[in-house]
Amino acid sequence: MTNQNSKTPVCKYCQPPNVIKYGKRKGVQYYFCKGCGRKFANVDTIPKMQYPTHQIAGVLNMYFEGMSLMEIRRNLMQQYDIVISDATAYKWVKRFSKLVIMEAGKYKPNVGRLWVADETMIDIDGWS
């Protein structure tokens, strides 16, 4: 989040723009809020998390598309130049899958009365 008038970051906990840069660690900019006294990483991250939401969403997407945790880790290193463990990726999947399932449960597909079914034949021991 940033202030609408300028590019000044806004505290993701208490929202006032009393934020100053607080150094970098492993290439990640940290900030300090003078209002609430909290330190935090990137302003577009979830509170108490270091990585931006689009990277976490990417991990979930890759996992549910069938990529292994090792492939996901390798992909993140190539795309974003970040290094996470397989366990971190799995913890993200576990944590945020519950939220996705709860959110998806709120929606009901709008379907019509006509259904199309495609028939598939399987040949087992000469019987179909």
Judge if 29 and 3 occupy the same domain: yes
Judge if 31 and 56 occupy the same domain: no
Judge if 100 and 55 occupy the same domain: yes
**pTM recorded for the entire structure:** 0.56
Q: What is the span of the domain harbouring residue 9? A: 1-42
> Considering the domain boundaries, does residue 120 fall inside one?
no
Judge if 58 and 100 occupy the same domain: yes
Question: Around 70, how many Cα atoms within 13 Å sit in the side-chain half-sphere?
Answer: 0
Per-residue model confidence as pLDDT tens digits over 33-62: 888 888 877 666 676 777 888 889 899 999
Please, which contacts does 23-32 make with residues 24 or more away whose CB atoms are closer than 8 Å?
A: 27/81
pLDDT at residue number 78: 93
CA angle 20, 77, 47 (to 5 degrees): 35
Mean model confidence pLDDT for the chain = 81
